Amino acid sequence: MEAFTTHTGRAVPLRRSNVDTDQIIPAHWLKKVTRDGFEDGLFEAWRKDPAFVLNQEVYKGATVLVAGPDFGTGSSREHAVWALQNYGFKAVISSRFADIFRGNSLKNGLLTVVLPQETVDRLQKLVEADPTAEVTVDLVGRQVRAEAPGHSKLTADFELDENARWRLLEGLDDISLTLREESSIVTYEANRPSFKPRTLEV
Amino acid sequence: MGRTLAEKVWDDHVVRRAEGEPDLLFIDLHLLHEVTSPQAFDGLRKAGRQVRRTDLTIATEDHNTPTLDIDKPIADPVSRTQLETLRKNCAEFGVRLHPLGDVEQGVVHVVGPQLGLTQPGTTVVCGDSHTSTHGAFGALAFGIGTSQVEHVLATQTLPLAPFKTMAITVDGELPEGVTAKDLILAIIAKIGTGGGQGYVLEYRGPAIEKLSMEARMTICNMSIEAGARAGMIAPDRTTFDYLQGRDHAPKGEDWDAAVAYWKTLRTDDDAVFDAEVHIDAASLSPFVTWGTNPGQGAPLSASVPDPASYEDASERLAAEKALEYMGLTAGQPLREITVDTVFVGSCTNGRIEDLRSAASVLEGRKIADGVRMLIVPGSVRVALEAVAEGLDKVFTTAGAEWRHAGCSMCLGMNPDQLAPGERSASTSNRNFEGRQGKGGRTHLVSPQVAAATAVLGHLASPADLSDAAVATPAGV
């Protein structure tokens, strides 16, 4: 996984709640067997509408998505995270993320930042007022910062559990970390009851 | 202090616990399908790793598989490649696979329980959010992403963040004609699509204890639709009776040891849940969705809500967008909504009891002109059982299509899809925009409501069929 320390880029406001992973990447894209090439499928149905925010010239090249509450609900498809990354997003900010989506994002180095809804609203207004405003998502300092002329400077601290943060900052591979503890797995396996199910043909 | 069911199962699977780190949990059963596994196997290959426990891993083909002409080559080359990739990966890594055409093939969450692999007190994962289904057995079961699939393949464990517990107590008794599907849709409408975030739900109370295993699976299946990490029901005699004699259920002394352990898997009387919700079963009636997320539902007897009635701005906006997408107007009675297609099937409602329930409504009746009805058994075993009971004849005589097992119209990955603008009554789990096909409009319903809707051509319950009373099969 690529490490995430701090990122500064322009942001795009997505004023919708309950954006499910079927909207982020529709099912027919899931037939691909790679982790790349999903960028054209990102929000595919909504992008057919010229007025959709991602189609607006001013938000071209934005790398931070400022989304409504309950982002990433529904299907567990990690393709949703890959699609956001393939398109160029480095971070997503929302007041609430669905659990599986959040887990998937942090395993791929897409930083999902939880801020209070009120702060998300302010940030959306700020980047709507000035689409050229730069937003910094700083994982080292656990802070989001944004500034635009005519708006008071926005500074918001966020929380992320220390272990997840460390893995992101270092870009660590979970499997290698777990395999350092292989002896614990072997011990656990040796003590499992014999009645536990096995999948071998009977 | 006592522990909840979820905490007991969690504690029994901790491989390693260290300060400041997530617990490392052992995974008893890993289910695979073609959609979320190819990139995980690729990862193993690149790192030179093997599948650690092929004896705890099993794969089936379901999302991409067609439900017609299954003996012919799959028409869509991309779908074909994905299925062939699963076959190649399972052969290379030694994983048991039930491919299209096999007698054990079917929707992954139907196959696991019917083989007896899903057992109380186990941890079950799959790269599929509806893995929550298996919680009906008192298993801690949850959907994972592809990175985690690779992690489980390589280590048979997962590092997991702690969860909170929520009790959903359903008091009283479900009225006649009100099913598990109506109950779970009402629960999701009550707590919201984000209401379960971070929680493992435990469904309990007299109305839950009375439910059959199939009905319990319908409930737990849709836990993810409330945003929950997992949903569970304490195992009891109903659970043990369902399991006994199944291919992979424990036998002989192992059975006795297993049952003794399973009986300990109840929330202690002095355990404390982080949150509690109470539902009065007697107050419920058939429930349907009108919007584009599973929380946007209402009793069938109600009308399409007015977005202006929502105080919360984001809910109001969501309702406005939903009505626009669904082509509905505020105040329209739900019973007046006409449909083009009715789908009975999926990991939510594709089991034998669901088919019996739909058939009991369709027996001696015809579906309305211009309505297309698909009946898709959840697995080949379910199909064989239905045929043995003559249910397929009931369906085809009524004018419905009897199909081969698979995910079918639950999601737009195979040929069974809605055309743009088409409207369905569907026993599946998600009414998201485009879920059943680009531009398609979905109303989530129970199998009974699906069948009555097919007969009348508009959203309806069996009670709306004037010609005869319809018996409710017990326990559904």
Residue type, B456: L
CB B358 within 8 A of CB B390: no
* Nearest one of B283, B285, B304, B282 to B443, comparing CA atoms: B304
* Nearest one of B337, B371, B324, B354 to B427, comparing CA atoms: B354
pLDDT value at residue B467: 65
Q: How far is A26 from chain B (nearest CA, A)?
A: 8
> Would you place residue B474 in the very low, low, confident or very high pLDDT band (cuts 50, 70, 90)?
very low
ipTM of the complex: 0.94
3-state per-residue secondary structure call for B243-268? HCCCCCCCCHHHHHHHHHHHCCCCCC
Distance, CA of A101 to CA of A15 (rounded, Å): 19
pLDDT tens column, B140-152:
999 999 999 999 9
CA geometry: angle at A79 spanning A145 and B83, to 5°? 175
**Does residue A160 belong to the interface with chain B, where contact is any CB pair within 8 Å?**
no
Q: How far is A84 from chain B (nearest CA, A)?
A: 15
User: What residues 32-91 of chain A have any CB closer than 8 A to a CB of chain B?
Assistant: 32-35, 45, 68-70, 73-79, 81
The total number of residues written for chain B in this structure: 476
For the cut 70, the answer to whether the pLDDT of residue B469 exceeds it is: no
* Chain mean pLDDT for chain B: 96
Q: Sort out which chain B residues have CB atoms less than 8 A from A76's CB and list them.
A: 36, 127-129, 143-145
**So what CATH class is A6-182?**
alpha beta
Of B117, B129, B197, the CB nearest to A76: B129
Task: Note the CATH architecture for domain B5-275.
Answer: 2-Layer Sandwich (3.30)
Mutation choice for A interface testing from B13, B62, B157, B259 by most A CBs within 10 A = B157
Pair of tokens at residue B261 = 């352990």
| In chain B, where the domains are located | 5-275, 302-464
Q: Determine, for residues A99 and B227 on separate chains, whether the beta-carbon distance falls below 8 Å.
A: yes
Q: How far is B145 from chain A (nearest CA, A)?
A: 5
Q: Determine, for residues B247 and A77 on separate chains, whether the beta-carbon distance falls below 8 Å.
A: no
**So what CATH class is B302-464?**
alpha beta
pLDDT tens column, B30-75:
999 999 999 999 999 999 999 999 999 999 999 999 999 999 999 9
pLDDT value at residue A49: 96
Distance, CA of A155 to CA of A183 (rounded, Å): 45
Q: Determine, for residues B36 and A77 on separate chains, whether the beta-carbon distance falls below 8 Å.
A: yes
pLDDT value at residue A148: 87
- The percent of residues in chain B predicted with pLDDT above 90, rounded, is 96
Q: How far is B292 from chain A (nearest CA, A)?
A: 9
Q: Do domains B5-275 and B302-464 have the same CATH topology?
A: yes
For the cut 60, the answer to whether the pLDDT of residue B473 exceeds it is: no
Binding residues of B: 347, 407, 410
